[in-house]
Amino acid sequence: MKVLLMGTGGADGVPALYGDDRVSCYAREHGGKDIRTRSAALIDLEIKLDLGPDTLAQVQRQGIDAREWSAVFFTHSDEDHLCLSEIQYGMFPFVECEKLEYTIYGNSLVCELIRHRYPEWPIDLVELSAYRSVQHEEYLVTPIRATHKGDEECHNFIVERDGRRFLYATDTGFYQQEVFDFLAGKQIHAMVVECSDGFAKTPYNGHMDLAQCVELVHRLRNDGALASNAQVFTTHHAAGGNATYAELEDALRPHEIVAGYDGLSFEV
Ligand SMILES: [Zn+2]
């Protein structure tokens, strides 16, 4: 599988839309890897993970053809991941398709929000629940329970194809024990993990700072959840985490974790 990180920013992006913080100011001045759009990824140009408000800009800038998508998997309903209005452009009258050309997978709230917004529209919707795998073409996708919100079952995804396994772990705090138990011994070949809070941990436990992110990865390696040579990349960096790209890179390198950036791609 080939994974492309289309966006690696937190909910308000970097520079944050109205951000007056150090990292936002640095990003405005220096650009490059410090510019982060809202988090999203794409597997084999076909399987889209989340569809946020920066989707159009990401597609245009990264030379992606959204007509090739066969599925969009939503991690949860937060608006930096689910931009309801972007879905309409895949249907008549914007295009001549009789129905939305990709299947949408999401938790019950995601499905409910889409049905409510587009009650009569032809959309294939598949409801996900934690630990129940779904087969989409040659991909087996297993949602696991993220630690993110008390009132919504938010998901991280294990995506498997041809014996290769990839874990997409955005918008989660430190995993609950049941998740470690489920992942133990899975020998996942690559992982993308969130590091929203960088150097500035907040009281909210639905995201991780750098120390927690490193601790989680170490634990997954020790449990055999990650294969011994598994590649690990970060995503969902918030400006409020007070870490520039270079600072993240330096802090993560000793732990054999690569600081993610918009446009990064890798083979699983
Ligand atoms: Zn988010």
Distance 61 CA to ligand 1 centre (A): 21
pLDDT in tens, 15-46: 999 999 999 999 999 999 999 999 999 999 99
Distance 171 CA to ligand 1 centre (A): 5
pLDDT in tens, 143-187: 999 999 999 999 999 999 999 999 999 999 999 999 999 999 999
CA distance 29 to 9: 17
Query: How far is residue 169 from each of residues 44, 86, 88, measured CA to CA in Å?
Result: 18, 23, 27
Distance 44 CA to ligand 1 centre (A): 22
CA distance 12 to 164: 33
Domains of the chain: 2-263 (3.60.15.10)
Indicate the SS3 state at residue 208.
Answer: coil
CA distance 43 to 40: 10
Distance 77 CA to ligand 1 centre (A): 9
Do residues 170 and 148 touch, judged by C-beta distance below 8 A? no
Distance 97 CA to ligand 1 centre (A): 30
Which residues are within 5 Å of ligand 1 (an ion), measured at CB? 11, 80, 171
Distance 104 CA to ligand 1 centre (A): 18
Distance 236 CA to ligand 1 centre (A): 7
* pLDDT the model gives residue 97: 84
Distance 93 CA to ligand 1 centre (A): 30
Q: Is pTM beyond 0.85 here?
A: yes
pLDDT in tens, 93-142: 999 988 999 999 999 999 999 999 999 889 999 999 999 999 999 999 99
CA angle 25, 29, 31 (to 5 degrees): 105
**How is residue 9 written in tokens?**
């920013």
CA angle 92, 49, 51 (to 5 degrees): 45
Peptide bond preceding 93 in cis form (omega within 30 of 0): yes
CA distance 205 to 187: 27
Query: Under 8 Å CB-to-CB from 183, ≥6 apart: which residues?
Result: 144, 167, 175, 220, 223, 225
The CA-based diameter of the chain, rounded to the nearest angstrom, is: 52
